[in-house]
Amino acid sequence: MSSKSFNLADLSANVPDASKMRFGIVVAEWNHAITGKLLQGALDTLAAQGVKESNIIVKNVPGSFELVYGSTVLSRCGLVDAVIAIGCVVRGDTPHFDYICEGVTRGISQLNLNGPVPVIFGLLTTNTMEQAEERAGGRLGNKGSEFAVTAIKMVDFAWQLR
């Protein structure tokens, strides 16, 4: 995934009308310094695209591994048109990183196949904390904004076909 060559937030000119859309956001508390900024980036972009504050539900889970359960519950609650799952996993000295990343990736993929609404994969997976900071409002922008644009586009996709 190259951040330099393609940035979804750059496509903001093509973002559909989001004023009637409802979003659930589930945020991992682990690496809160990063996930808090990603959440803010997503909230700022949703607001800029006309999403009402009252149409956004934000829920916390302890770590990224719990994003799958949190997204499952949120996606089935009947109150949201899409879910954004936000987490940050930084590679450490043990294989834990790989297990968490694989679990979250598989879980969210399953949810997109079987669940009622799109679930956006907002998981930063980086080798260092510096790389995470660069993507959470730093040199490479705020990926939270991209997650929000993706969520709006996926709701629009679903609504076009209903």
Q: Is 30 in the site for ligand DLZ (CB under 6 A)?
A: yes
Q: Which residues inside 86-125 make contact with ligand DLZ, applying CB under 6 A?
A: 87-90, 92, 96, 100
Q: How many residues does the structure list for the chain?
A: 162
Beta-carbon neighbour count of residue 96 at 10 Å?
Answer: 12
DSSP annotation of 162:
-
Catalytic residue list contains 32: no
Q: Is 51 in the site for ligand DLZ (CB under 6 A)?
A: no
Q: Collapsing DSSP states into helix, strand and coil, what is residue 86?
A: strand
Minimum CB–partner distance for residue 1 and ligand DLZ (Å): 18
Report angle CA 88, 92, 95 to the nearest 5 degrees: 100
In the bound state, the residue with its beta carbon closest to ligand DLZ is: 63
Q: Is 72 in the site for ligand DLZ (CB under 6 A)?
A: no
Residue 141: strand pairing partners: 138
The single residue among 9, 26, 45, 66 that binds ligand DLZ, judged by CB under 6 A, is 66
